[in-house]
């Protein structure tokens, strides 16, 4: 009986150990909002516009590809092309971490510029077409908190939201709730969604460390 008990204890330990190893393999990346970073403070001090900044850690960076993009919806309709996008991958390093984010220069002006950046990569600021109205309310917020969020392979995650609407108020929305998000897109005049997705490197992505804007 004693040997039987010891055998089951050892078996249980082995199962827990194997489960732990499997979880570590499934862990692709982590990300968290960094709303008080030096990047954000510089943007605010210089009155440049809006900056969403994140701490980003990518495991197995030599085998994965990062897609970061900003979708724009106008009057509930999604535009066919992202407002801006950045893709990079096949890093020579096994791990890759640093700051990642999205910036808007002059957000309430006709001369509005947007850009994306990640660890060691970035896009040049590009001018976008943007209609401005005096009675338009604007709102922007992180869709995740300052605690680390794990990103699964192939999962699309909303990181931040920028909104514009006519009226005297903007309602609070749970950005991770699909129904609430869809209602917001339909009701607001314009919505931008910052999204990220991690994929395995394949034939659809060019060889070597690359970026696209």
pLDDT at 179: 93
Residue 183's CB: how many other CB atoms inside 10 A?
14
What percentage of the chain reaches a pLDDT higher than 90? Answer: 60
Smallest CA-to-CA distance from 195 within 161, 165, 171, 170 is with 161
pLDDT at 204: 55
pLDDT at 65: 92
Above 70 in pLDDT, residue 14? no
Above 80 in pLDDT, residue 92? no
- pTM summary value: 0.81
- Across the range 5-26, mean pLDDT stands at 44
Give tens-digit pLDDT for 119-171.
989 999 999 987 767 778 889 999 999 999 999 999 999 999 999 988 777 88
pLDDT at 99: 96
pLDDT at 107: 87
């Amino acid at each position: 009986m004693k040997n039987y008990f010891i055998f089951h204890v050892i078996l249980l330990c082995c199962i827990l150990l194997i489960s732990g190893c499997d979880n570590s393999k499934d862990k692709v990346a982590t990300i968290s909002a960094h709303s008080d970073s030096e990047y954000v403070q510089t943007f605010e001090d210089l009155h440049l516009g809006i900056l969403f900044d994140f701490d980003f850690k990518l495991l197995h960076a030599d085998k994965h590809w990062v897609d970061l993009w900003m979708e724009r919806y106008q009057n509930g309709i999604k535009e066919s092309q992202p407002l801006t996008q950045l893709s990079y991958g096949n890093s020579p390093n096994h791990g890759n971490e640093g700051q990642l984010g999205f910036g808007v220069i002059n957000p309430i002006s006709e001369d509005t510029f947007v850009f994306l950046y990640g660890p060691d990569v970035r896009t040049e600021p590009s001018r976008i077409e943007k209609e401005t109205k005096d009675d338009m309310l604007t709102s922007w917020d992180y869709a995740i908190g300052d605690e680390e969020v794990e990103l699964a392979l192939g999962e699309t995650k909303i990181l931040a939201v920028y909104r514009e609407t006519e009226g005297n108020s903007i309602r609070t929305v749970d950005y991770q709730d699909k129904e609430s998000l869809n209602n917001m897109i339909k009701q607001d005049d314009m919505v931008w969604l910052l999204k990220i997705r991690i994929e395995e490197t394949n034939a659809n992505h060019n060889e070597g460390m690359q970026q696209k804007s």
